Chain A
């Protein structure tokens, strides 16, 4: 059991009843890139 001060403030998660401000972003990067093993990269 964690009993120190740090643990006492942890009460909820990102999906909790009080919501954190969180916006979305417009993607401007590449749609999809294929993984290349390191020896095949430029």
Chain B
């Protein structure tokens, strides 16, 4: 039997295609969407503007943005058949299963008939996904059938409005906007790769997105901010957090929300969401969770030289906005959908089916045995 190959496990460091959408980890810590630095986008743009950039190739001017926002707002209503399916899903279902089913069901009801529809289909999903997860959540947890057709100007504000049953504050809508921008695109991560592999077979866009959701569901990809929240939420003080972290390190346990597969020095998204988490803590008048998070960050750097990735301070930021932990990863979906669809477009533009080889590690040759002769 051949030795099991160990180099390049998980395709780390290998180029698996080309893209004009994003660079990750250039010079150790950079992140750009179509050449625009993530700091500029998070500081100045709206998520809808960034989605437009990714999906249509350029930043919109004011009229184009106005038209795009109006279009997205007009697409928020869910078909009755989709609502009925969501009502059948139990309250203890995995919310990512709800997203997967919602995307797939939408594809049954509004099937992409031609690639000419790809922009409209993507816009429809961007507009409808917050409604899908919140319709299920509010129905299954509160027994309420919500109207998903709000008049909120932003997708982030719309999400919080559906979840809480009232319009979001300006601060909360702003933080959701930044969060959606930070999670929108990240080159050849596992879920995006899934979407591109599916697209390369010339499948429909709902199949690409449904498959991507399935990949994001895995705990090695999405879910790190949920895991970070589960880790820190019971700690009462920075001192307790430090004791607990030191114990985890001693026991060689996993600490959630630290380090990254591509970034070597730092994750540029961390400082941005950390700043907003602090502001939310001040607004709430309760900075316990923020102080705990900051202490964990200090200890991890001091002890292991490990930096926070985008997920760690997202946990406290989402918590301060009253978002249940189980909905953290579906928010990731509502954002990354823009990147997935842009990659699907790019794959279709210059397509060849993705079909790599594998290094065979099985037996060289085996003789056929009739079933009655087998042990």
Contacts and interface: CB of A to CB of B under 8 A. Distances in A.
A12 B259 CA distance: 12
Interface of A: 1-2, 4-7, 9-33, 35-39, 41-42
Contacts of B32: 32-33
Contact of A14 (B15, B18, B23, B261): B261
Question: Mostly helix, strand, loop or mixed at chain A's interface?
Answer: loop
Given A35-B40, A39-B62, A14 B309 contact: yes
Interface residues of B, number: 65
Contacts of A17: 254
22 contacts: A2-B325, A5-B94, A6-B93, A6-B94, A9-B223, A10-B223, A13-B223, A13-B254, A15-B261, A16-B219, A19-B10, A19-B220, A22-B12, A22-B193, A22-B261, A23-B15, A24-B262, A26-B19, A27-B19, A27-B20, A33-B32, A41-B61
Contacts of B223: 9-10, 13
B362 interface: no
B230 interface: yes
A32 B35 contact: yes
Nearest to A15: B259
B234 A1 contact: yes
B9 A19 contact: yes
**Which of A13, A29, A35 gathers the greatest number of chain B CB atoms within 10 Å?**
A13
A20 B224 CA distance: 13
A22 B34 CA distance: 20
A42 B35 CA distance: 18
Contacts of A24: 13-16, 187-188, 262
Contact of B220 (A4, A20, A28): A20
Nearest to A27: B23
